[in-house]
């Protein structure tokens, strides 16, 4: 039927899915807001322990990748499949850089004995335990979404190569792009909440 | 009732301009974080984040060009999120 | 008409045969039936468990099981009834089957996603079964999984909340599909105020499914994480706040109450005008009240927590807001009653069940006001009064609406009629049993008998015995109704396309419908409940 060609309908479906993702993280932000209110000093102290340069770097990496994904949609719609593929490859690379950064960041924290249920956190300030608990849960869940987003982008890249995504049929890439931007969106909030709290 | 036209793709230039704005805002928010503004620390950081998110939504995610269904339902979702957080404070803030 | 093969004989996508034609189907009608079988299975299981619980409580002390078993069984009863029966019952079965037809289209927007939702549903159910027979047995936390107990309990909480997580996803994706179908697949000539009320109610429900379900998903993820990593997010000794768990839990689970009841209201809004041969009173008011319930229902979650230790301001605000939800619900009840006024009423099993719905739902709603008011709630919170209240709404409301829908659409889904007399007997037995079952619980609650207790003081024995007796009566009634419907599959009295004299689009297609639903382009009426062209009595067509 006309269903496959209804780009608007497919996009509505994707947005509805994104809403559910927003609310999923929203539940965690509820916790963050309430706990920030209860332990403001500890949250500031916790934020000071995170490296805001690495955080800012990761923000920039994600923003740039978001741009390249958006540009690849423009490219595919102008029937420039080559450029679209290059842009997507670059976005995937950005995703990898982000995850590697994250890996070293988590690793450093774990080396300092800061991880869920660690001696330092259990016996330390309760507010710090909550701050780092939320830090691991939220960035962990976000990292998982980065991986899913990269998988979607990789599939789109593969589809462009095989010709299943083209200038007239780009819903797959469009939706993968929307998902990737959502990952970016959430990070834009996570960054000030964890790295810049004062 | 429901729009049927597909908007033309955004130009690379426009997208790049958005990216530059986003990067500038990132620099601003990091720079401001080194200054202690007292009470305004959180509102400023969140305000800049909201501005950045708005840019991503409007241009990278084409919300500016979407039909009323997506626009209104997005506003509804954000409203629900605000209610989730806000109404919890009826409890948390007055305990 | 007879030349067109029904969806039972033709598969979608074409060319599939046998079991594959079911398991790989994209057809919303087959999926609706597959949900029907699965949901009925779970309903029977949970019903038997419920009966076992009430049997245990019929006399003081140990009757048929120990306290540990009792705790697991009431949890199991709650989890199955909520996540595997009440939430999916009407949207997944009748919604899937009839929403596309009522909108004048051939399927939902994402047919493959629809199939995927069904698999998620089955998978979630199997997960729950696995949780039952592995590890330290089924949770004994109650279906609410409150921390800290759910984090500390050695029972199989992790697996069970994962099951609920998966079931939530299934429900969310169904909602996503319905909203998209509503906007993109609707017949172009059908305006917003020409849509049947059942579809409108599903639309309102779908929004709640999309926006509220993720909250429970993340809550359950947090429970699992706490169990695996013991982060301490809800542990007061480590800076956490257990009341925030309750906030998150009810942020979904209160709107979920409207996921459960709204489709039931939609069913009744379909049935009442048809058998009153009169246009529905206040069509727009019902549409707006559906949306109003969906919105207002999202603002009142903390009224489940008056005694949890949250702030007094919060108690006050949420109590006030709770009373707002009563307004749109009452609008609907008044509209249904006003529809029947001076109508040409014709009694049939679906109408009888709908009338029982209105009565039981009203009692449930009014006892809800007792609980919404803080002063009285503090007296009866966590007593049998609460148990009776939500069973009046969930079973007296949604359960009876489900039965009404089953009797109303049975001829359309299977193309056969059923005998009325056993259906009447079953419905009356169920209703009488229901009252014997739950009214004593209301009184027990007011006298102070707590919920979820294994044993009780001697003064509560009479009430508990009566409730148990009513429970058996109730189950006999249900058995009569189900056996009657199943027997009709054997005797096969063919049903005409429109046995009831109804006007919405699903009655303009053959019974059972062909695979693409519409043989010719359907005629869209200016108003879906215009009975001028329907004869005032179509009983002659019936058995």
SS3 C450: strand
More confidently predicted of A153 and A198: A153
Q: Are residues B77 and B55 in the same domain?
A: no
- Residues β-bridged to residue A125: none
What confidence tens digit (pLDDT) does each residue in C298-327 have?
A: 999 999 999 999 999 999 999 999 998 899
* Full domain range(s) for residue C149: 20-541
- The verdict on C186 touching A (C-beta cutoff 8 Å) is no
Taking the CA of residue C314 and the nearest CA in chain B, the distance in Å comes to 5
- CA pair distance A122, A12, nearest whole angstrom: 45
Identify all chain B residues contacting C240, using CB atoms and an 8 Å cutoff: none
Band the pLDDT of C535: cuts 50, 70, 90.
low
SS3 C326: helix
Q: Mean pLDDT, to the nearest integer, of C157-182?
A: 95
CA of residue B25 relative to chain centroid, distance: 12
Tell me the percentage of chain C whose pLDDT exceeds 70: 98
* C 39-68 residues inside an 8 A Cβ radius of A: none
Q: Is the pLDDT of residue B3 over 60?
A: no
* C 101-130 residues inside an 8 A Cβ radius of A: 106-107, 109-111, 113
Average pLDDT, chain A: 92
Q: Is C243 inside a domain boundary? A: yes
Q: At what angle do helices C111-133 and C157-184 cross, to 10 degrees?
A: 170
- CA pair distance A126, C511, nearest whole angstrom: 65
Mutate to test the interface with A, among B3, B17, B19 (most CBs of A within 10 A): B19
Q: Please list, in sequence order, all residues whose beta carbon lies within 8 angstroms of the beta carbon of residue B17, skipping any fewer than 6 positions away.
A: none
Q: Do B49 and A12 touch (CB under 8 A)?
A: no
Q: Are residues B49 and B22 in the same domain?
A: yes
Q: Mean pLDDT, to the nearest integer, of C525-530?
A: 89
Q: Is A32 inside a domain boundary? A: no
Cis peptide before C13 (omega within 30 of 0): yes
| Phi and psi, residue A172, nearest 5° | -60, -50
Helix residue ranges, H only, C277-399: 283-296, 312-340, 349-372, 374-380, 384-391
Q: Are residues B41 and B84 in the same domain?
A: no
Interface A-B, measured as beta-carbon pairs within 8 A, has a size of 121
Q: Is A18 inside a domain boundary? A: no
Interface B-C, measured as beta-carbon pairs within 8 A, has a size of 41
Band the pLDDT of A7: cuts 50, 70, 90.
confident
Burial of C496 (0-12, 13-18, 19+ CB in 10 A): middle
* Full domain range(s) for residue B49: 10-61
* A 111-140 residues inside an 8 A Cβ radius of B: none
In chain A, the residue whose alpha carbon lies closest to the alpha carbon of B45 is: A192
Which tokens in the block code for residue C533? 């062209």
What confidence tens digit (pLDDT) does each residue in C265-284 have?
A: 999 999 999 999 999 999 99
- CA pair distance B10, C306, nearest whole angstrom: 52
Nearest to B45 among A38, A56, A196 (CB): A196
ipTM associated with this complex: 0.94
Kind plus residue range of the DSSP H or E element containing C416: strand C416-417
Q: Do C299 and B87 touch (CB under 8 A)?
A: yes
What confidence tens digit (pLDDT) does each residue in C347-381 have?
A: 999 999 999 999 999 999 999 999 999 999 999 99
* Full domain range(s) for residue A172: 43-195
The number of CA neighbours under 13 Å toward the Cβ of C150 is: 26
Q: Do A56 and B4 touch (CB under 8 A)?
A: no
Please report, for residues A38, C30, C42, C261, the alpha-carbon distance to residue C118 in angstroms, rounded to integers and kept in the order given. 42, 11, 14, 21
Q: Do B46 and A188 touch (CB under 8 A)?
A: no
Work out how many domains chain A is built from and give that number: 1
Q: Which of C51, C150, C85, C116 is nearest to C477 (CA)?
A: C51
Q: Is the pLDDT of residue C200 over 50?
A: yes
The number of CA neighbours under 13 Å toward the Cβ of C330 is: 8
Q: Do A63 and B19 touch (CB under 8 A)?
A: yes
**C-alpha torsion sign, points A74, A76, A78, A84:** positive
Q: Is the pLDDT of residue C383 over 80?
A: yes
Q: Is the pLDDT of residue C1 over 50?
A: no
pLDDT at B38: 79
Q: Is the pLDDT of residue B36 over 90?
A: no
Q: Is A104 inside a domain boundary? A: yes
Q: Is B1 inside a domain boundary? A: no
- Residues β-bridged to residue C416: C494
Burial of A163 (0-12, 13-18, 19+ CB in 10 A): exposed
Q: Do C185 and A3 touch (CB under 8 A)?
A: yes
Q: Do C184 and A26 touch (CB under 8 A)?
A: no
pLDDT at A4: 63
Q: Say how many C-beta atoms besides its own lie within 10 A of residue A83's C-beta.
A: 16
DSSP state of C91: I
**C-alpha torsion sign, points C431, C434, C439, C445:** negative
Average pLDDT, chain C: 92
Please count the residues of chain A: 198
Neighbours of chain A (3+ CB pairs under 8 A): B, C
What confidence tens digit (pLDDT) does each residue in A50-68 have?
A: 988 999 999 999 999 999 9
- The verdict on C241 touching A (C-beta cutoff 8 Å) is yes
Q: What is the CATH number of the domain that holds C199?
A: 1.20.210.10
Q: Are residues B42 and B75 in the same domain?
A: no
Q: Is C464 inside a domain boundary? A: yes
Q: Please list, in sequence order, all residues whose beta carbon lies within 8 angstroms of the beta carbon of residue C536, skipping any fewer than 6 positions away.
A: C277, C344
Q: Are residues B46 and B76 in the same domain?
A: no
Neighbours of chain B (3+ CB pairs under 8 A): A, C
pLDDT at C540: 43
Nearest to A16 among C179, C217, C219 (CB): C179
Q: Do A63 and B26 touch (CB under 8 A)?
A: yes
Q: Please list, in sequence order, all residues whose beta carbon lies within 8 angstroms of the beta carbon of residue A135, skipping any fewer than 6 positions away.
A: A46, A50, A194
HEC per residue, C49-74 = HHHHHHHHHCCCCCCCCCHHHHHHHH
- Residues β-bridged to residue C509: none
Q: Please list, in sequence order, all residues whose beta carbon lies within 8 angstroms of the beta carbon of residue A78, skipping any fewer than 6 positions away.
A: A167, B9
- The verdict on A29 touching B (C-beta cutoff 8 Å) is yes
Nearest to A185 among B53, B73, B93 (CB): B53
Q: Is A141 inside a domain boundary? A: yes
Which tokens in the block code for residue C142? 């109650």
Q: Is A1 inside a domain boundary? A: no
- CA pair distance C331, C282, nearest whole angstrom: 9
Taking the CA of residue B81 and the nearest CA in chain C, the distance in Å comes to 9
* A 46-75 residues inside an 8 A Cβ radius of B: 52, 56, 59-60, 63-64, 66-67, 69-71, 73-74
Q: Mean pLDDT, to the nearest integer, of B45-62?
A: 94
Is the distance from CB of C180 to CB of C109 less than 8 angstroms? yes
Taking the CA of residue A191 and the nearest CA in chain B, the distance in Å comes to 9
* Nearest-5° Cα angle at B68, B62 to B72: 90
DSSP of C142-166, one letter per residue? -TT--TTHHHH--SSHHHHHHHHHH
pLDDT at C2: 52
SS3 B62: coil
Kind plus residue range of the DSSP H or E element containing A102: helix A81-111
- CA pair distance C470, C54, nearest whole angstrom: 10
Q: Is C150 inside a domain boundary? A: yes
Q: Is C173 inside a domain boundary? A: yes
Q: Mean pLDDT, to the nearest integer, of C389-408?
A: 96
Kind plus residue range of the DSSP H or E element containing A122: helix A119-123
Q: Please list, in sequence order, all residues whose beta carbon lies within 8 angstroms of the beta carbon of residue C264, skipping any fewer than 6 positions away.
A: C90, C357, C361, C397, C398, C400, C401, C402
- The verdict on C242 touching A (C-beta cutoff 8 Å) is no
pLDDT at B95: 84
Q: Do B15 and A67 touch (CB under 8 A)?
A: yes
Band the pLDDT of A106: cuts 50, 70, 90.
very high
Q: Are residues B29 and B53 in the same domain?
A: yes
- CA pair distance A29, A192, nearest whole angstrom: 13
Q: Is the pLDDT of residue B61 over 80?
A: yes
In chain C, the residue whose alpha carbon lies closest to the alpha carbon of A136 is: C231
In chain A, the residue whose alpha carbon lies closest to the alpha carbon of C217 is: A24
Q: Are residues B92 and B54 in the same domain?
A: no
Is the distance from CB of C110 to CB of C175 less than 8 angstroms? no
What confidence tens digit (pLDDT) does each residue in C212-236 have?
A: 999 999 999 999 999 999 999 999 9
Which tokens in the block code for residue C88? 């999916």
SS3 C493: strand
What confidence tens digit (pLDDT) does each residue in C51-91 have?
A: 999 999 999 999 999 999 999 999 999 999 999 999 999 99
What confidence tens digit (pLDDT) does each residue in C106-161 have?
A: 999 999 999 999 999 999 999 988 888 887 888 889 999 998 899 988 888 999 99
| Phi and psi, residue C146, nearest 5° | -60, 140
SS3 A79: coil
Q: What is the CATH number of the domain that holds A57?
A: 1.20.120.80
What confidence tens digit (pLDDT) does each residue in C443-502 have?
A: 999 999 999 999 999 999 999 999 999 999 999 999 999 999 999 999 889 999 999 999
Q: Do B91 and C311 touch (CB under 8 A)?
A: yes
Nearest to C313 among B2, B83, B94 (CB): B94
- Residues β-bridged to residue C493: C417
| Phi and psi, residue C514, nearest 5° | -70, 170
- Residues β-bridged to residue C450: C383
CA of residue C347 relative to chain centroid, distance: 24
pLDDT at B4: 53
Q: Mean pLDDT, to the nearest integer, of A161-181?
A: 91
Q: Is C3 inside a domain boundary? A: no
* Nearest-5° Cα angle at A9, A6 to A10: 85
Q: Is the pLDDT of residue C194 over 60?
A: yes
């Amino acid at each position: 039927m006309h269903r496959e060609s209804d780009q608007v309908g497919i996009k509505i479906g994707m947005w509805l899915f994104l809403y559910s993702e927003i609310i999923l993280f929203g539940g965690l932000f509820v916790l963050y807001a309430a706990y920030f209110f209860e332990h403001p000093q500890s949250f500031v102290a916790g934020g000071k322990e995170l490296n805001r340069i690495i955080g800012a770097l990761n923000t920039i990496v994600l923003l740039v990748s978001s741009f390249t994904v958006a540009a690849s949609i423009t490219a595919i719609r102008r029937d420039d499949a080559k450029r679209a593929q290059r842009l997507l490859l670059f976005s995937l690379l950005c995703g990898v850089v982000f995850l590697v950064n994250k890996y070293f960041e988590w690793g450093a924290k774990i080396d300092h004995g800061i991880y869920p249920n660690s001696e330092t956190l259990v016996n330390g300030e309760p507010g710090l335990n909550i701050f780092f608990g939320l830090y691991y849960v939220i960035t962990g869940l976000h990292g998982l979404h980065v991986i899913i987003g990269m998988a979607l982008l990789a599939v789109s890249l593969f589809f462009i190569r095989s010709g299943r995504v083209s200038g007239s049929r780009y819903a797959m890439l469009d939706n993968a792009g929307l998902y990737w931007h959502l990952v970016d969106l959430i990070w834009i909030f996570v960054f000030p909440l964890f790295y810049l709290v004062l | 009732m429901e729009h049927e036209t597909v908007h033309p793709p955004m130009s690379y230039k426009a997208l790049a301009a958005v990216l530059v704005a986003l990067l500038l805002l990132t620099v601003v928010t990091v720079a401001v974080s080194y200054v202690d503004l007292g009470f305004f620390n959180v509102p400023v950081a969140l305000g800049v984040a909201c501005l950045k998110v708005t840019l991503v939504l409007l241009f990278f995610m084409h919300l500016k060009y979407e039909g009323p269904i997506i626009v209104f339902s997005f506003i509804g979702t954000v409203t629900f999120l605000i209610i989730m957080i806000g109404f919890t404070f009826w409890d948390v803030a007055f305990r | 008409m007879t030349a067109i093969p029904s969806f039972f004989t033709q598969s979608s996508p074409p060319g599939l045969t046998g079991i594959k034609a079911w398991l790989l189907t994209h057809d919303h009608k087959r999926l609706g039936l597959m949900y029907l079988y699965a949901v009925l299975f779970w309903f029977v299981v949970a019903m038997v468990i419920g009966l076992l619980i009430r049997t245990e409580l019929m006399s003081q002390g140990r009757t048929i099981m120990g306290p540990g078993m009792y705790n697991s069984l009431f949890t199991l009863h709650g989890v199955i009834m909520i996540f595997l029966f009440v939430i999916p019952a009407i949207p997944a079965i009748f919604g899937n089957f009839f929403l596309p037809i009522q909108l004048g289209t051939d399927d939902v927007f994402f047919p493959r996603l629809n199939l995927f939702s069904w698999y998620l549903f089955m998978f979630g159910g199997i997960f729950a079964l696995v949780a039952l027979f592995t590890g330290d047995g089924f949770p004994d936390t109650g279906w609410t999984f409150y921390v800290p107990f759910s984090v500390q309990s050695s029972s199989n909480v992790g697996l069970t909340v994962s099951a609920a997580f998966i079931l939530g996803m299934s429900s969310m994706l169904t909602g996503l599909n319905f909203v998209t179908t509503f906007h993109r697949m609707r017949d172009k000539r059908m305006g917003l105020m020409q849509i049947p009320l059942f579809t409108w109610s599903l639309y309102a429900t779908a929004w709640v499914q999309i926006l509220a379900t993720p909250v429970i998903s993340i809550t359950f993820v947090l429970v699992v994480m706490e169990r695996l990593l013991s982060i301490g997010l809800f542990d007061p000794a480590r800076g956490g706040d257990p009341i925030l768990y309750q906030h998150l839990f009810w942020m979904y689970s209160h709107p979920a109450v409207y996921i459960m009841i709204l489709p039931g209201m939609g069913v009744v809004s379909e049935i009442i005008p048809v058998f009153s041969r009169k246009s529905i009173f206040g069509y727009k008011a019902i549409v707006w009240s559906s949306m109003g319930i969906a919105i207002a229902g999202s603002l009142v979650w903390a009224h489940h927590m008056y005694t949890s230790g949250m702030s007094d301001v919060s108690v006050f605000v949420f109590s006030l807001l709770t009373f707002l939800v009563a307004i749109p619900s009452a609008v609907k009840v008044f509209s249904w009653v006003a529809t029947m006024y001076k109508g040409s009423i014709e009694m049939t099993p679906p109408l009888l069940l709908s009338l029982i719905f209105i009565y039981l739902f009203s009692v449930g709603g009014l006892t809800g006001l007792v609980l919404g008011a803080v002063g009285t709630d503090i007296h009866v919170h966590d007593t049998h009064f609460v148990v009776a209240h939500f069973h009046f709404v969930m079973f007296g409301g949604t359960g009876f609406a489900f039965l009404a829908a089953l009797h109303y659409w049975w001829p359309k889904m299977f193309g056969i009629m059923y005998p009325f007399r056993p259906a009447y007997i079953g419905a009356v037995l169920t209703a009488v049993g229901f009252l014997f079952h739950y009214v004593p619980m209301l009184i027990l609650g007011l006298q102070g008998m707590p919920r979820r207790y294994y044993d009780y003081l001697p003064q509560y024995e009479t009430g508990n015995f009566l409730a148990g007796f009513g429970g058996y009566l109730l189950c006999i009634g249900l058995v009569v109704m189900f056996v009657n419907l199943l027997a009709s599959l054997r005797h096969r009295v063919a049903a005409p396309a429109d046995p009831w004299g109804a006007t919405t689009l699903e009655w303009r297609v053959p019974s059972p419908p062909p695979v693409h639903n519409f043989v010719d382009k359907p005629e869209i009426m200016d108003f879906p409940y215009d009975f001028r062209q329907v004869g005032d009595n179509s009983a002659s067509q019936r058995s």
